[in-house]
């Protein structure tokens, strides 16, 4: 078998994964979430070459660097992948321009709500558009704006998160908007869970934390080691200390970086009250902190003072594995789960 031979679904999984596979153009309806400094051309292309779906993270990188990442990904795979743009990032619009100009087949809007004109711009480039939905009202608006699919992400996820759990969002969004494919994210760590979500109507799933432990993932070995040792309850969400400084919660493993973030918030709130800083600049400093802190941990290996963004599914992780083995394990678990359900019903 070639190193890049795709992992394939079983016939019974093909039946429940058909919609997601067709939308993504893949063998498996499994997305690797866009993780800043982690979802690079190597991981994204490997995911896609193995039959899943890689999502390239723009994060806050300089536009020329992101354009180079898109080109490198294209050089390493001829299979579909997406580009993820963060609507609150300083380089958001140049990032979107790059994806449209380079005709990337799928564009994911993350961070906050994109403008309808931005969604239309992506669609006009020929891309299929996916938008995050952390509430039912956002899901409705994104569909009205023209989103081709939704990513339902519960608060169990890592990185920037909403406030509602996956279990509630399944009922508010997955069951309520059957007109578009919906991919579920947040707290998903096993193929068995993906199978049951698919039986509930999901087109597929997005996972991030699980793929950090792929051998092909370029995250620092110390970063991966912390994930292996972590328990689910250690992946905590940051609080917001004042309405004067609205912040998007971040879920990460508790360490000095989380403490420092609390101190940064209090300092910025003090500056806001004193009038020495504007709200927009204060919010930029918050995002700047997380981007730099995550690089410090994921790239440089400073797991004490860098951000360890992780979902609560981190407690299920046990070892570093080749990406092919992870995907095959997911398929095997999902297939067994469907057989189990059929046996119960039969």
Are residue 46 and residue 135 in the same domain, yes or no?
Answer: yes
Q: In terms of Cα–Cα distance, which of 153, 114, 146 is closest to 127?
A: 146
Q: In terms of Cα–Cα distance, which of 123, 132, 281 is closest to 208?
A: 132
Q: What is the CATH number of the domain that holds 215?
A: 3.20.20.70
Q: How many helices (DSSP H) and strands (DSSP E) are in the chain? A: 13, 11
Quick check: 17 and 26 in contact, CB under 8 A? Answer: no
Phi and psi torsions of 106, nearest 5°? -135, 135
Are residue 192 and residue 241 in the same domain, yes or no?
Answer: no
SS (H, E, C) 194-228: HHHHHHCCCCEEEECHHHHCECCCCCCHHHHHHHH
Quick check: 286 and 268 in contact, CB under 8 A? Answer: yes
Q: In terms of Cα–Cα distance, which of 333, 313, 327, 83 is closest to 208?
A: 313
Residue 165 region by backbone torsions, left for phi larger than 0, else alpha for psi between -120 and 50, else beta? beta
Q: Which residues have CB under 8 Å from 25's CB, separation 6+?
A: 79, 80, 105
Are residue 62 and residue 140 in the same domain, yes or no?
Answer: yes
Are residue 93 and residue 226 in the same domain, yes or no?
Answer: no
| Dihedral in degrees, nearest 10, Cα atoms 279, 238, 107, 192 | -170
Quick check: 183 and 20 in contact, CB under 8 A? Answer: yes
Total of domains in the chain: 2
Chain position carrying tokens 């250690």: 234
Are residue 201 and residue 232 in the same domain, yes or no?
Answer: no
Are residue 44 and residue 122 in the same domain, yes or no?
Answer: yes
Are residue 77 and residue 41 in the same domain, yes or no?
Answer: yes
Helices 323-345, 41-49: axis angle to 10 degrees equals 40
Instruction: Provide the pLDDT for residue 2.
Output: 56
Q: Which residues have CB under 8 Å from 203's CB, separation 6+?
A: 17, 19, 20, 23, 29, 149, 181, 182, 183
Longest dimension (CA), the chain: 69
Query: Residue 7 and residue 49: Cα distance in Å, rounded?
Result: 9
Q: Would 310 be classed as within a structural domain?
A: no
Are residue 225 and residue 185 in the same domain, yes or no?
Answer: no
Q: In terms of Cα–Cα distance, which of 131, 128, 170, 108 is closest to 19?
A: 128
Quick check: 66 and 91 in contact, CB under 8 A? Answer: yes
Q: How many residues does the chain have?
A: 346
Are residue 65 and residue 47 in the same domain, yes or no?
Answer: yes
Full pLDDT tens readout for the chain, 346 residues? 556 799 999 999 999 999 999 999 999 999 999 999 999 999 999 999 999 999 999 988 999 999 999 999 999 999 999 999 999 888 999 999 999 999 999 999 998 899 999 999 999 999 999 999 999 999 999 999 999 999 999 999 999 898 899 999 999 999 999 999 999 999 999 999 999 999 999 999 999 999 999 999 999 999 999 999 999 999 999 888 888 888 888 899 999 998 899 899 999 999 999 999 998 888 888 888 887 898 999 999 999 999 999 999 999 999 999 999 999 999 999 999 999 999 999 8
Q: Would 304 be classed as within a structural domain?
A: no
Q: Would 152 be classed as within a structural domain?
A: yes
Whole-number Cα distances in Å, 217 to 118, 210, 221, 229: 31, 11, 10, 18
Quick check: 52 and 213 in contact, CB under 8 A? Answer: no
Strands 106-110 and 30-32, sheet pairing: unpaired
Are residue 266 and residue 325 in the same domain, yes or no?
Answer: no
Are residue 21 and residue 92 in the same domain, yes or no?
Answer: yes
Structural domain boundaries, residue 49 = 11-219+317-345
Strands 81-86 and 53-57, sheet pairing: parallel
Q: In 10 A of CB 126, how many CB atoms? A: 10
pTM equals 0.94
Query: Residue 54 and residue 217: Cα distance in Å, rounded?
Result: 12
Quick check: 122 and 99 in contact, CB under 8 A? Answer: yes
Instruction: Provide the pLDDT for residue 89.
Output: 83
Q: Would 305 be classed as within a structural domain?
A: no
At 53, is the secondary structure helix, strand, or coil? strand
Are residue 34 and residue 129 in the same domain, yes or no?
Answer: yes
Q: In terms of Cα–Cα distance, which of 199, 188, 198 is closest to 166?
A: 188
At 9, is the secondary structure helix, strand, or coil? coil
Q: Would 49 be classed as within a structural domain?
A: yes
């Amino acid at each position: 078998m070639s190193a890049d031979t795709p992992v394939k679904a079983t016939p019974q999984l093909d039946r429940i994964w058909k919609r997601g596979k067709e939308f993504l153009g893949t063998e498996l309806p499994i997305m690797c979430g866009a993780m800043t400094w982690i979802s690079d051309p190597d991981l994204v292309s490997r995911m896609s070459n193995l039959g899943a779906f890689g999502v390239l993270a723009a994060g806050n990188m300089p536009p020329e660097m992101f354009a180079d990442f898109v080109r490198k990904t294209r050089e390493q795979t001829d299979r579909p992948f997406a580009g993820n743009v963060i609507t609150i990032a300083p380089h958001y619009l140049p990032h979107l321009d790059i994806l449209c100009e380079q005709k990337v087949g799928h564009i994911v809007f993350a961070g906050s709500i994109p403008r309808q004109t931005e969604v239309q711009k992506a669609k006009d480039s020929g891309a299929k558009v996916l938008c995050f939905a952390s509430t039912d009202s956002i899901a409705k608006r994104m569909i009205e704006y023209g989103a081709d699919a939704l990513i339902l992400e519960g608060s169990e996820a890592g990185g920037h998160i909403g406030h509602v759990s996956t279990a509630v969002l399944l009922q508010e969004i997955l069951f309520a908007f059957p007109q578009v494919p919906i991919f579920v994210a947040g707290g998903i760590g096993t193929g068995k869970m993906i199978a049951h979500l698919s039986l509930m109507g999901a087109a597929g799933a997005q996972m991030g934390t699980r793929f950090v432990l792929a051998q092909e993932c370029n995250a620092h070995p110390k970063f991966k080691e912390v994930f292996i040792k972590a328990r689910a309850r250690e992946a905590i969400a940051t609080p917001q200390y004042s309405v004067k400084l609205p912040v998007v919660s971040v879920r990460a493993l508790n360490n000095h970086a989380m403490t420092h973030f609390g101190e940064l918030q209090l300092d910025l709130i003090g500056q806001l009250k004193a009038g020495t800083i504007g709200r927009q600049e204060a919010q930029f400093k918050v995002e700047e902190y997380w981007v730099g802190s995550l690089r410090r941990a994921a790239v440089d290996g400073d797991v004490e003072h860098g951000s360890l963004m992780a979902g609560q599914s981190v407690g299920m992780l046990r070892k570093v594995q080749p990406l092919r083995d992870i995907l095959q394990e997911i398929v095997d678990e999902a297939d067994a789960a469907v057989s189990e359900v059929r046996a119960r019903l039969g």
